[in-house]
Structure 1
Amino acid sequence: MTSSPTVTRISECFVKPPDDHLSPEEKQPIHFTPFEILSLNIKYSQKGLLFAKPPPSENQDFSIPVFLDHLRRSLSAALTHFYPFAARLATRIQENPPSYVIYLDPENSLGAKFVYATVDATVSDILTPPDVPLVVRSFFDLNNAINHDGHTLPLLSIQVTELVDGIFIGGSVNHLIADGTSFWQFMAVWSENFRSKDRASISHPPVHRRWDESDPIINLPYTHHDQFIERFEPPPFKERFYHFSSPSVSKLKSKANSECNTDKISSLQAVIALIWRCITRARRLPPEDQTSCRLMVSNRRKMNPPLSDYYLGSPVQVVRATATVEDLMAHGLGWAALRLHEVVMNHDHSKVKEMVESWIKRPVIFKMSHGIDRNAIHVGSSPRFDMYGCEFGLGKAVAARSGGANKGEGKITMYPGREGGGSMDVEVCFGSELMMDMECDEELMSALMVD
């Protein structure tokens, strides 16, 4: 592409679950946990899949109107199980004493938004350039929405963008109702409904019961959302993907464990440790500076008793591994990976409980501007999500991509490699100068060259 093409919106509508499908219990308000409420200023999560259209020789029966209709009908069926995705947020305000209670109102079910758009670009135009083309950000709806906007905006918006030879299905979902685990479970159910004639049952229904029914309703000490809302835009950044083959990942894991005389370090921790070291080196920070790697961790299996893997919500928390630049550079891959392993393992039920009790005593809504740390990297998503298991009659996706929301210099997004087998794709966001140094990093380049 010589210039960024324009995405043209052709139509949009709202897709609802079947009428009167909610039971009396399901019509009750859903109250959020501290993990979710504190993220009111964070933007919607945006993830999607790029598919190739059937080849011309097999394209005779492919019809965009029929395909879109099938997507809408199967989406409606999926929303039967994921009914909070079709609802809206609501707030109950009390002035004396100040009380601001945000909850989800299942009866206010206006539906999920469904957008059809077109763009004069090919699959190759999206995948060939070294940097992710800016047009990919237009493959998603609600680009500027923050979670609090779910009072008036849909909690889920699906945009289907037709390329010359491909289809991109992008989802924007409110982080109060879904983390990456819940979103990809929803996508799997939607895909299952698309491919199945029997939409009454699914393999793994979501668990709607809240994580602890004894939790108090959260009363925020506000009388108006202007007292805590912030809309933050980061400086310009670029995105680039690095592909780690299965042998490359295995070699990194083996190297990290060997250096520490252990077998505890995971493949994911080894890859993230490599990226942390390479970005820190490219930043050319003073040796005495502190650097950190922030990891988004699901609390499902950290609780005692653990939550179901199919728990619907966003029970996530940030854990941090810190080190001086000098130590991170001097001690090698295994040392950095072991720091990551330790902070993940040390994050247990007691740490989760401590955070919850502390936050409830003094609720604070996170502001993106307060989270800026030029010496840190922030890792989101996971290569363990079954992204490529989601098919919509077009075969396996050729790539997974994300929108521009919640990104900035130093943001790392993890994906499974398309070929499976433990391979990974890592999307790194950074400025032009940092990108040039990364491309010359011997440790990174040697890891990527493993067959």
Structure 2
Amino acid sequence: MYPGSALRVVESCLVTPSDETPREGLWLSALDLVLANRGHTPLVHVYSASDVAAADGFFNVAKLKKSMAKALVPFYPLAGRLGADRDGRVEIDCNGEGALFVVARSDRTVEAFSGPTPSSELTKLFCPRVQPSSIMLAAQVTFLKCGGVVLGTAVHHAAVDGSSAFHFIGTWARYCRDGESAVIELPCHDRALLRARSPPAILPETVSMFCSKLAMHEHESSVLATKVFAISGDQLCALKRHCGGASTFCAVSALVWQCVCIARQLDPDATTRMNFPVDIRHRLKPRLPGRYFGNGVVNLFATAAVKDVVSETLASVASRVKATTEQLDNELLRSAVDYFEMEAAKGGRPEDRGNLPETELRVNSWFHLPIYDADFGWGKPRLMTRAETVRGGWVYVMAGCDDGSARVLISLEAATLKKFERALAVCGVQTSIV
């Protein structure tokens, strides 16, 4: 039993690759090293057991282990350990020691997860405790009292970004569901494709666009609250039309940015920034392989005066976000890689802790990631979400389950969150709280 929880661990073991894999130190790019201090990203997938699925050995542990062992062959870095090379640079020691696999039972039911928000309890109950911390991948299968299952995973951020993490989970699921007939896309492990140039060539605008430090701090007198807002498929289409045909990310982030500025009642002359990660795999020349396995994202800052974000139409705010991304070209992105490599040579910088100041917003889009492609043979998950507590000012945009809808997970000061809900209504967007 974990102290103070309704969870009983039944088994804990290591799953090793089913075939021989390369034994080597995997060099990490500067974009990997930037995220190395983030540690593991905990995720949960929640599954309901139907009569048909239950009759077919719902989440059979032996089958899950066997398919994971098979998936760890092409994804062999996840069976390794975080280490350092002779010069002290962080690397992945691809030693084949295996991924942590935990089986547990809980007296909770699926109904308790109609719309869970990230919390320390969710992490403690349903995501594996990764010990030692050098383990790259861990998974926990928790059987619920009602017959449902929660699959918790934790992948080290030094190894992968969201795109690569879901690539592995989807491959593991296909091996479990389809066996030897599974059709998979092999990952590309050539991280030297993101090697910095020598000598480096850093453009003047690089730091302001990619490398500004987030001024994180603790809210000493404010209580943070987190909610998930659902935007239906029809509402999302209407929002995108209202934003002049903008992409889902530009439209939703513009809505959130404007409503947060309104809710926080910021000084109109103050400067506000929205920070968001951008996948650069297809923006570089030559392009990175679509299945590049590693961290292929950079953080971008869109900056504006509060009075402009608040008073402009949503279409104008969405255009601001789009214009920021349109500045990205190969030379600017390579300049960012060069800069991060120089930072890594200095020892990098510690992970930012705490919450964002009121003028800052962080929007992470998982809308186009295959977060529901985790059908292990017993049906797709009814819900997928992050498990860890979200920090103040952080937002996640995720797709609904196969209906074209969106879910917006946002964490703000409790009083501000209520004002945010009212601002959404004023903007004409009627959302439901999941």
Instruction: Report if TM-score (shorter chain) is over 0.5.
Output: yes
Residue 114 in 1 paired to residue 101 in 2? yes
Report what 2:29 is aligned to: 33
Offset from partner CA, 1:97-155 (integer Å, 9 cap, x none): xx52221121x2211111122222222212167x5665322244367x7xxx98x5311
* Cα contact 1:126–1:136 (8 A) shared by 2: no
- Structure 2 residue runs of 5 or longer lacking an equivalent are 199-215
Q: How many residues align?
A: 405
1:389 equivalent among 373, 378, 383:
373
* Cα contact 2:217–2:354 (8 A) shared by 1: no
CA distance in 2 between counterparts of 1:177 and 1:50 reads: 24
- Structure 1 residue runs of 5 or longer lacking an equivalent are 94-98, 218-231, 258-262
Alignment of 1:160-179 (within 5 A): 160-165=141-146, 166-179=148-161
* Cα contact 1:54–1:62 (8 A) shared by 2: no
CA change 1:366–1:304 in 2 (3 A) is: farther
Deviation at 1:90, TM superposition (A): 1.8
CA distance in 1 between counterparts of 2:339 and 2:53 reads: 58
Aligned-partner SS, 2:180: coil
CA change 1:357–1:449 in 2 (3 A) is: closer
Report what 2:270 is aligned to: 289
Aligned-partner SS, 1:296: strand
Alignment of 1:324-403 (within 5 A): 324-363=305-344, 364-369=348-353, 372-403=356-387
CA distance in 1 between counterparts of 2:254 and 2:54 reads: 48
CA change 1:408–1:395 in 2 (3 A) is: same
* Cα contact 1:207–1:310 (8 A) shared by 2: yes
2:392 equivalent among 409, 434, 441:
409
CA change 1:213–1:202 in 2 (3 A) is: same
Report what 1:10 is aligned to: 10
Report what 2:45 is aligned to: 49
Deviation at 1:443, TM superposition (A): 3.8
CA change 1:85–1:336 in 2 (3 A) is: same
Q: Comparing 186-195 with 350-359, which one deviates more in the overlay? A: 350-359
Deviation at 1:409, TM superposition (A): 0.6
Deviation at 1:206, TM superposition (A): 0.8
Q: Comparing 207-216 with 5-14, which one deviates more in the overlay? A: 207-216
Report what 1:100 is aligned to: 88
2:123 equivalent among 137, 141, 149:
137
Deviation at 1:215, TM superposition (A): 4.7
CA distance in 2 between counterparts of 1:295 and 1:319 reads: 5
Report what 1:196 is aligned to: 178
Report what 2:65 is aligned to: 72
Report what 1:222 is aligned to: none
CA distance in 1 between counterparts of 2:164 and 2:336 reads: 22
Aligned-partner SS, 1:365: coil
Deviation at 1:448, TM superposition (A): 3.1
Q: Comparing 412-421 with 368-377, which one deviates more in the overlay? A: 368-377
Alignment of 1:311-326 (within 5 A): 311-326=292-307
Residue 439 in 1 paired to residue 421 in 2? yes
Report what 2:206 is aligned to: none
Alignment of 1:245-284 (within 5 A): 245-257=232-244, 263=245, 265-284=246-265
Q: Structure 2: which amino acid aligns with 1:45?
A: T
CA change 1:184–1:139 in 2 (3 A) is: farther
* Cα contact 1:44–1:142 (8 A) shared by 2: no
TM-score between the two structures when normalised by the length of structure 1:
0.82
Q: Comparing 357-366 with 293-302, which one deviates more in the overlay? A: 357-366
Offset from partner CA, 1:248-271 (integer Å, 9 cap, x none): 1111111111xxxxx5x2122101
Residue 418 in 1 paired to residue 401 in 2? yes
CA distance in 2 between counterparts of 1:135 and 1:371 reads: 19
Report what 2:82 is aligned to: 89
Offset from partner CA, 1:166-197 (integer Å, 9 cap, x none): 21112111111110000111111011001112
* Cα contact 2:126–2:140 (8 A) shared by 1: yes
Residue 155 in 1 paired to residue 172 in 2? no
Offset from partner CA, 1:342-366 (integer Å, 9 cap, x none): 1112122111111122333343324
**Percentage identity across paired residues of the two chains:** 22
Deviation at 1:447, TM superposition (A): 1.6
CA change 1:133–1:85 in 2 (3 A) is: closer
CA distance in 2 between counterparts of 1:444 and 1:242 reads: 15
CA change 1:32–1:187 in 2 (3 A) is: same
Aligned-partner SS, 1:387: coil
TM-score between the two structures when normalised by the length of structure 2:
0.85
RMSD between superposed Cα atoms in Å: 2.8
Q: Structure 1: which amino acid aligns with 2:231?
A: F
* Cα contact 2:250–2:318 (8 A) shared by 1: yes
CA distance in 2 between counterparts of 1:347 and 1:210 reads: 21
Aligned-partner SS, 1:35: helix
Alignment of 1:226-237 (within 5 A): 237=224
Q: Structure 1: which amino acid aligns with 2:32?
A: E
* Cα contact 2:226–2:411 (8 A) shared by 1: yes
